[in-house]
Amino acid sequence: MTAAKTASMTIAEMREFASFANHERAFIERALDIGMGRGDAFKVWSRAEADQRAIRGQYLAYRELRQLRAMVPDESGFDGIGGFMGSLIRIAAQDLAQEQLDGFSAFRFLYERLLGPDARPFLPAAFCGAAALPQIAPERRKLLLQSLSEAAATAPAWSPRAPGFYPEKVSSEAA
């Protein structure tokens, strides 16, 4: 029963990933490559100078992910919340400013893999904080903030289950 439930959850994650726009899927794959140290992101993802700048920025921002994973605050208190949320909002804002994530669902999908399930309850606040910053274009801000559903914003609890599906770019050379 447990294996069937795990397989079913993984399939649901795959379906969710497939529902994202092509540019969102590519951005998530690239971000996971960088954030999880999978392969050479410059070699795999760099097609132009703008790509190189974006990848370099993600490498620099994502250096803090290991620290953030270790400092996820307890949901019942406020100890450590400032350092955690401040860093998370800054990293999230850099990602959102690249205009490759069109809403909260893709953002949550990426960040629950980058940070783990313990960070889930903090993702709506981080998303709102990052999306509302003046570094995000006003029309983009509106689109992003409207993508956060009331259910996600007011969820009484989040699953502690670790994600089972971590998408990877499949090289056409390997096929």
**SS3 for 120?**
helix
Residues 30/77, Cβ–Cβ less than 8 Å: no
Q: Over range 140-147, report the average pLDDT.
A: 97
**Residue 144: Cβ-neighbour burial (10 angstroms; 0-12, 13-18, 19+):** buried
Sign for the CA dihedral angle at 62, 93, 85, 169 comes to negative
Q: Is residue 103 part of a domain?
A: yes
**SS3 for 139?**
helix
Q: Is residue 175 part of a domain?
A: no
Q: Is residue 82 part of a domain?
A: yes
Provide the pLDDT for residue 174: 45
Q: Find the domain containing 143 and state its range.
A: 22-153
Provide the pLDDT for residue 45: 80
Q: Is residue 161 part of a domain?
A: no
Residues 167/29, Cβ–Cβ less than 8 Å: yes
**Residue 56: Cβ-neighbour burial (10 angstroms; 0-12, 13-18, 19+):** middle
pTM (predicted TM-score): 0.90
Q: Each residue of 71-82: pLDDT tens digit?
A: 999 888 899 899
Residues 159/117, Cβ–Cβ less than 8 Å: yes
Residues 27/101, Cβ–Cβ less than 8 Å: yes
Q: Is 171 or 150 the better-scoring residue by pLDDT?
A: 150
Q: Is residue 173 part of a domain?
A: no
Number of domains in the chain: 1
